[in-house]
Amino acid sequence: MSAKLKIVVVTTTALGLAACAPGASREAGAILDEGGFGDPTVTNQLLLTGQLSAVVDLNKRFSEEVPSMVNFAFDSAVLDGASRATLRRQADWIKQFPEVRFRVFGHTDLVGSDAYNQALGLRRARAVVDFLVAQGISRGRLEAVTSFGETQPLVVTENREPRNRRTVTEVSGFLNNSPAVLNGKYAQVIFREYVDSATEFPSDGGVEGGVIEE
């Protein structure tokens, strides 16, 4: 057998083994999905439309200026007083940016089955969405209600853990590829409320530029 023929035989055999390997019958690209293909797609869209950096900046600012998480009692999707107070602060922040969309992620601790916790995380996320809507936020701006169930614990423990029983609210994008972002007026979106809330005073010796300095 010639060296060239040996190479062909070995290559054919390898291809045959690959076809019999687990998952070989799945559609092309399935290995890239892993159940969350929508998130990379959204990220690519934001990148191509020039919105990604704006979303990252806004999300960082949101998490710094208001609590992005609320917590729940064990096996419950009921919002307590502390959670409602936090969500009112979230709603006040969200109202400042009518061009922006948000996503709410539900989480659980590791007690219970995967399927049950997935459903429980979803109920928690929906409870948050419903509360934000009741505060005057358009449901259309809350683009997705998603549950991670028990897959992303803050504290890895099989015991009951209050910090894992939570929802997280995040900036996810802009409505209809908001022109305010795409036409170079991003600064107006980000700092609009600062401009609107600024108070001017007649310039005198104690005030520089007519604006009181903190």
- Classify residue 49: in a domain, yes or no: yes
Q: Between these two residues, 122 and 30, which has the higher pLDDT value? A: 122
| DSSP class of 163 | G
Q: Count the domains in the chain.
A: 1
Domain that includes residue 61, residue range: 36-197
pLDDT digits (tens, 9 = 90+) for 19-32: 444 333 333 333 33
Least confident of 25-34, 42-51, 83-92, 107-116: 25-34
- Classify residue 3: in a domain, yes or no: no
- Classify residue 211: in a domain, yes or no: no
What is the pLDDT at residue 175?
80
- Helix or strand holding residue 181 (H, E): helix 179-182
Q: How far is CA 175 from CA 92, 101, 186, 194, in A?
A: 18, 6, 14, 22
The mean per-residue pLDDT over the stretch 178-200 comes to 54
